[in-house]
Structure 1
């Protein structure tokens, strides 16, 4: 296993992102993350956000604390992108993306849009009593009205992708199939989102050498996308057992990483 210290443009903190006081104020250009879901996935850490013995209100309160910390770290023209979906509890739907947006706005963020991530290959929850959920949401927020956005920088949109309109502008429906691969066979992290989606978020929200923050690093998808696009990445992850998963994910980037410097 390679050491994450080999990646000069990556800095990982194995602790909760409810306290980001170690980070410099107004230093991050973009926050890109997918937070843990409430009462759904157990990642094996007693202090994780969203445990089964934590109320929904407490879960939202803790997420809000993370969002408040992210707000302080963001540059004035920075943005935050949260990949999240609604969830079902005892047959009742909780509109988590909208609750997330409300809590972020309470921290000072401005809600810019709700992007739909269309997952044509999704089969989760398929049965004869419901329709298959083939989407998640990306909550798009900014710190100020003068935020930086580069939709023209995205290079991974095919002609079949509804994210592009007839005028070749980036739209609000993004088609990214969930593909099985080496990470998909790894049970250590149960909810990775695809690298092409992370790359699109990196490209539209940052420029080369900008800093990307993922307060829920997980399997390292955001880190991989940021480093491969010549960005610097800060990650917080409470479960250090994911270190081997992140290392494996970044293995093919090691050689190029050795020639850069996070402080550059």
Structure 2
């Protein structure tokens, strides 16, 4: 299995993204991430954001520090894409994507849309009394109103309602999560599919641009960015993800050797 240092154009920082002093201001074209949810998943580090001993307000205070860092390192025409869903707080539904958008707007971001990610393979509701949740949201933000948006690079599939012939890209994206993927990764409990991230990478950047993931997790964003010939910077608190990320990227290493 390769080491992370073997991959060119990929930098991982094993620290909190509440401070990203290693990244130059205005050097990132796109931020793509799925942040930790409040009081829902344990990612195995004592300093993680969103643990049960934090209030919902403190969670957003800490997340706002991350969004502020992202804003500073984004280029003037850069965008930020946050994959997140609603959560339950003591039996009450919290509109987490909208609260993230509100905090980001306070920092200076422009809310462009709330894309709905349709997950047809989802099988569980939030509780036994809820309907089965078949969606998450992609909070689509930009640093300025004028920003890079490569609509012609969005990609398509026969089952995807987002794109139809001679029509603009829609905000309902069908990206199934591979059956059996949730639960196989002991450390990372919230994977998202590469098809979803590759669409965002193509939409928001060009070859050679830099993608940032402030919550790198198992490395899906890095895999998509590197495969599409972008650079990638990731922040991750839990160094136990090192081997998982390297394993996810291993087929890219084999591909580069084949090309050579």
What TM-score do the two structures reach when normalised by structure 1?
0.94
Shift, 1:167, TM fit: 2.6
Aligned residue in 2 for 1:178: 177
Aligned residue in 1 for 2:244: 245
Shift, 1:55, TM fit: 0.7
Q: Deviations over 1:159-194 (max 9, x none)?
A: 221111353421100000111366751211100111
- Rounded to whole Å, the distance in 1 between the matches of 2:87 and 2:257 is 41
- Rounded to whole Å, the distance in 1 between the matches of 2:114 and 2:17 is 24
**Partners of 1:7 and 1:258 within 8 A in 2:** no
Shift, 1:48, TM fit: 0.2
> Helix, strand or coil: the match of 1:203?
helix
What TM-score do the two structures reach when normalised by structure 2?
0.95
Alignment of 1:248-259 (within 5 A): 248-256=247-255
The number of residue pairs the alignment matches comes to: 259
- Gaps in structure 1 of 5+ consecutive residues: 260-264
Aligned residue in 2 for 1:75: 75
CA-based RMSD: 1.8
- Gaps in structure 2 of 5+ consecutive residues: none
- Rounded to whole Å, the distance in 2 between the matches of 1:149 and 1:184 is 34
**Partners of 1:8 and 1:258 within 8 A in 2:** no
- Are positions 1:7 and 2:13 aligned together? no
- Are positions 1:85 and 2:85 aligned together? yes
Q: Deviations over 1:21-59 (max 9, x none)?
A: 111110000000000000000111110000110111000
Distance verdict in 2 for CA 1:148–1:126, change over 3 Å? closer
Shift, 1:140, TM fit: 0.3
Q: Deviations over 1:209-260 (max 9, x none)?
A: 100000000010000000010000000001111111111100000145579x
**Partners of 1:9 and 1:257 within 8 A in 2:** no
